[in-house]
Structure 1
């Protein structure tokens, strides 16, 4: 949900951003309940786009993302006073559940000026249960800030979001936060980045801590010292380097120039030519870092990461971090267009946009695609939906062209047109209408009722899509019982809307039990949903205990054969079906049919027949033979030579035959029950380490991979890495609280599916 509080939309004072000689953007003071408006004067659209920074803040939970965002808004003049997570008055955490728990649940966006840039910032959740929020936001951003807890260093969710950012080619800055805290270790944190994230750190700042007081940073680029006053205003002054920081700064400066000489062609030439003065000029250094970040991101090379440091809570280092965003992260124009996804020989493949402009005669449809793209069409990507009293709001990124109000857009998934009724800039519960939006803008649209998360919208009919958003299958399920039929109907309607908003949430009616099943990414995910249903919609319901979503698979390659006889409209049909089933390594199942092949009776598998058979095979994989869980890591292939039916056989009979064959034969063969295994990471007092490890290994079938201990002032903290079955971790929060006396933080992130031991399978079957 992309909104901010009304107060955040009130500008403190009139500001002026000089963008180019003779042109400017004026930011006017807002009147009550209005949003900060931007008035363009002489600025050309391209010049404006060059100054946009679409960025996200991502990190492990409690690393300080929201606090960092609050300080940014404060120093940009958007709020009179920075909010505090503990006080529940932050701008971007607006849900009551967020304020009650002190965590971010839904992504929140806000725009503000800084120097010559317009920063469109999205604060994302840090808890693993809300990873889809991070996923879809990173999908449409151009850069990011990875926030690291300077005490804990790299944590489990840090690795997860880092990989997500890698997948979407996001250039990023690293911000080491909380350096005011006892036990903070800047260099140890960077060592963890290099070892666990595989990226070399470009130290642009070095912290100076004196008597446990974080008093300033050395600016490695300029070789000066920034001393923090530590007041709410975030005052600082630039001074010559203290003698104690000289050696470390010189070493970091030399290392920075050396790494840039290896990574940047211009810098490399200067290095070989001995042009030291050019290499050491701060402007040249920053430009080289920017070039490297942008070029490497295009190549999916994230081996170098610029590093800043500070303490957001203590108002130290935020302005310098914003300067880094302004100077180093790319504009939409520098990022370029995303890959085009289209079908080649029935396979969805990604092709760089520019390559699509040159058709391949061997690939059907490539000429039509190239012709369409050469017309410079409008291309948008819908990455989030939000229900409102006005209808469904679609949040979209404009990748190419200009979208205007009342425009008709073509949905490449539904292959149908829809009309935009309104284009909006959204701030909290206030919207500001726009006549049009340009490349690089993130906007909200009304009127597109058939659009879903991940849809591609164009100005005319087209046969392609942009990269879809990855949504992991939910791992927890609860049964939901409403008080009466009227409440059940209302509940189903609300859940339909909420599952459109949140693709990681799934609900269905179980055919066997007749119960409503609600599935989500974790205990917290489902707990918060239950609270929202009650608070926002007044829906009271009974929820069962949470249970794990297992998966099923085959243990070996098998062949299934069956025959079905059906009588429809006074005519008898006999269908024989043969299929091959085997394990596969792919994350998703593989369903293979061979269109235009002939069965044993010489009947060709045309489009209609092939579609019916494929639907039947997918239905087979949706329900395994052991406990009815979805099959995974399974390849299923229909063997035309083992099939038999005549030309008049209706497709519905073919589909039923496939399902009947599966149901009758699969139980005769070896199948496996699989359970989700989680990467477990906990930071606890070393005194409690033995109790926690014993509990994991003896009571929860856990396998401890590594235990490390670090000094934190006068105490020691242990970090435990393990792999544990999710089924054994239900209600674990209260257990570890007792084991550690409340001094702990832990996280679970999905690792893989593994076969359930035989004794546990029997326990699961009994519902224990």
Structure 2
């Protein structure tokens, strides 16, 4: 059986869920088309989704298409839930990007297309809402060409746009050979000598679409059904089917985890090779996204299955922090004809629901590690403290937030035991409201939030080195640890290296040092995480067990992992002190449209907010500003914009990069650890073996 795992992606309100309903109805899976406004859609199953009219969680539903089983994955369109989209991308064979014929290319549209192109996911574009007043297919096509900067092949054109009678007229235009010839020399030659046949053009279109070289564009309306039959034909003919060897070793990736009625974990996974069977004992684990969350968001440069420590040469680079476990599959479902159906086994290409793997996490590999879970979108840049209301216990709240973080690894849960506070990292205010409603409806917990603050990061300013020797200079730990900290390029992650021989002490001690380094980097000198740096272990030493006559081994005088875990934060923090760190704040790239005659009032306000306009263009009476603005000032800019532009301003922003804080007081974040910046306080909290 041929399979196609298809993602539906869009900016919020472009009509993505409505298109999903229309596709399911056209395939005969549902008898009536659900309405987003009425809360009756097939894929928006959460009560909160139906009430708000937005997709919050990705959902899988299948339908048959000309002998192909399509597993359609509906994803959220709101930027606050971009993490849900991120996790789906790694399991897709193809995608449909929905663009509104009225609003055109929006901020999220550009983010999604850039990511689809980077991952080389074959993508069709459906320009929706051609029946809405103000729809302009030609203008949107021109806008997509300018702002998406991708090769587009219109598969026809809209007729009577902007009216209830709008329809799609299929037919490849004269521009198609031009676009296709850029990737096919033989087609170019035939085009130039006038011998190019229509069949040759369509063959090239299918081949190049499946390789994500070009993107066919359809026009239509999910509400009226215009253009949808042609889109369905394109899905079947222009997107590649799932591949994978069903006889190979098991390799699958978990992209979603939810809790069942009894609180049991249910994992959604894409099988890339091999087969999964009920009652199989399956190894699973990762060194990727989930471990990054556990150590404060520090990414591991080694990836999901990085190179292990290697003896010889006295140096090893980038071993992944792995978490491997094993569980027995107690239940298995596949998706067929609009629902999930229990099966005893499932093979390569399938998307499955799996029961029985209690310790499973998003990003885990089942069986042999295969496609690694990678962050494709920006990290969350906001944080808020969750305040328990009357009758809400802190322990219950922490447990509930931890379970929510299981379902969304980019929701970082941070607990400050000293202050008794729990905070979460988020993408926006809508996501905060959803977390509040979820805690109330699913866990019965009443909470409020403090004011949202911006999440910064720290980067080493230079190189720093520190060392403490076993039993010397007031070191109460039976361990020698030397560490050198060096800057690394943005996005490089944390790399741990050795400049000592691997055999110089037990492997468990090296692992204790590396794990503690990654954990400690979750809080730099100013309290922010350090996501990118190289840490090299320069000195090592330990106290082996010593045998005394008639007494056996003296355990009190031998090193343990506790000694290395206790000493490492002191050494690493001192190395960071000597290197120095710079606090970096998140910066958004903005595009602001406003009447030309209001730009004079806008520019001084942008300057006061720390925004830097980079380009200014005029489109008739409308001015277009592009530049960067600190993420912390975006909300204020949004609030002030209507008054400055007579209500005609339109602002689009998206995370772009981190930049050093150059204005005002450098922001600090309260520490939640034992504070290795204060040696005396740290030692009193960590150990009773405090030296003089």
TM-score (normalizing by structure 2):
0.80
In structure 2, the CA distance between the partners of 1:734 and 1:533, relative to structure 1 (3 Å rule), is farther
Which residue in 1 is equivalent to 2:353? Answer: 444
SS in 2 for 1:465: coil
1:61 matched to 2:12: yes
Q: Does 1:434 align with 2:350?
A: no
CA 1:687–1:439 in structure 2 vs 1: closer, same or farther (change >3 Å)?
Answer: farther
Q: Secondary structure at the match of 1:559?
A: strand
* 1:632-668 deviation per Cα after TM superposition (whole angstroms, max 9, x unaligned): 333322223xx66655544432343332134456446
Which of 512, 531, 538 is residue 639 of structure 1 equivalent to? Answer: 538
Question: Whole-Å Cα distance in 2 between the matches of residues 97 and 287 of structure 1?
Answer: 45
Aligned equivalents of 1:653 and 1:430: distance in 2? 54
Q: Retained in 1: the 8 A contact 2:464–2:578? A: no
Q: 1:376 corresponds to which residue?
A: 248
Deviates more, 1:100-109 or 1:490-499: 100-109
Secondary structure of the 1:263 match is coil
Q: Does 1:403 align with 2:312?
A: no
Q: How has the CA–CA distance of structure 1 residues 651 and 721 changed in structure 2, closer, same or farther, with 3 Å as cutoff?
A: same
Contact 1:566 1:574 in 2 (8 A): no
Indicate if the aligned counterparts of 2:272 and 2:349 stay in contact, CA closer than 8 A: yes
Backbone CA RMSD of aligned residues: 3.5
SS for the counterpart of 2:504 is: coil
Q: Work out whether residues 334 and 346 of structure 2, in 8 Å CA contact, stay in contact via their aligned partners in 1.
A: no
Alignment gaps of 5+ in structure 1: 1-47, 222-251, 338-372
Q: Given the alignment of the two structures, is residue 323 of structure 1 paired with residue 233 of structure 2, yes or no?
A: yes
Report matched runs for 1:218-237 at 5 Å: 218-221=169-172
Q: Work out whether residues 286 and 327 of structure 1, in 8 Å CA contact, stay in contact via their aligned partners in 2.
A: no
1:553-632 alignment runs, 5 A limit: 553-562=459-468, 565=471, 577-594=481-498, 597=501, 604-626=504-526, 628-632=527-531
Q: Deviations over 1:467-520 (max 9, x none)?
A: 223275432222223247862222222222211111111212114422112222
* SS of 1:332 mapped into structure 2: coil
* Contact 2:63–2:70, Cα closer than 8 Å, also in 1: yes
**Aligned partner of 1:755 among 639, 660, 663:** 660
Deviates more, 1:447-456 or 1:662-671: 662-671
CA distance 1:313–1:708, shift in 2 (3 Å): farther
Task: Say which SS state the counterpart of residue 87 (structure 2) adopts.
Answer: helix
- CA distance 1:261–1:665, change in 2 (3 Å): closer
Give 1:188 deviation, angstroms. Answer: 4.1
Q: Distance in 2 between matches of 1:692 and 1:315?
A: 43
Residues 1:436 and 1:148: Cα distance change in structure 2 (over 3 Å):
same
Task: Rate the CA distance shift 1:664–1:424 in 2: closer, same or farther, 3 A.
Answer: same
> Could you tell me which of 95, 99, 104 is aligned with 2:46?
95
Query: 1:68-93: CA deviations, max 9, x gaps?
Result: 22222333333344333334333323
Alignment of 1:97-116 (within 5 A): 97-116=48-67
Residues 722 and 564 of structure 1, relative CA distance in 2, 3 Å threshold? farther
Q: Is the 8 A contact 1:595 1:610 kept in 2?
A: no
1:188-337 to 2 correspondences below 5 Å: 188-209=139-160, 215-221=166-172, 252-253=173-174, 255-264=175-184, 267=187, 275-276=195-196, 279-281=197-199, 284-294=200-210, 296-297=211-212, 302=213, 304-333=214-243
Cα pair distance change 1:710/1:153, threshold 3 Å: farther
TM-score, with structure 1 as normaliser: 0.72
- 1:56 offset after TM fit, Å? 1.0
Greater RCO structure (CA 8 Å; 6+ sep): 2
Provide the secondary structure at the position in 2 that maps to 1:593: strand
The aligned length equals: 619
Offset at residue 55 of structure 1 (A): 0.9
Q: Please state whether the residue corresponding to 2:49 is helix, strand or coil.
A: helix
- Give the 3 Å change call, closer, same or farther, for CA 597–736 of structure 1 in structure 2: same
Aligned with 1:448: secondary structure?
coil
Pair 1:488-2:388 in alignment:
no
Out of 722, 725, 728, the position equivalent to 2:633 is 728
CA–CA separation in structure 2 for the residues paired with 1:383 and 1:96: 22
**CA distance 1:580–1:485, shift in 2 (3 Å):** farther
1:341 corresponding residue in structure 2: none
- Matched residue SS, 2:116: helix
**CA offsets 1:139-170 (integer angstroms, 9 cap, x no match):** 11100111222344333212221232234331
Q: Is the 8 A contact 1:552 1:624 kept in 2?
A: yes
Instruction: Select the residue among 88, 98, 114 that pairs with 1:147.
Output: 98
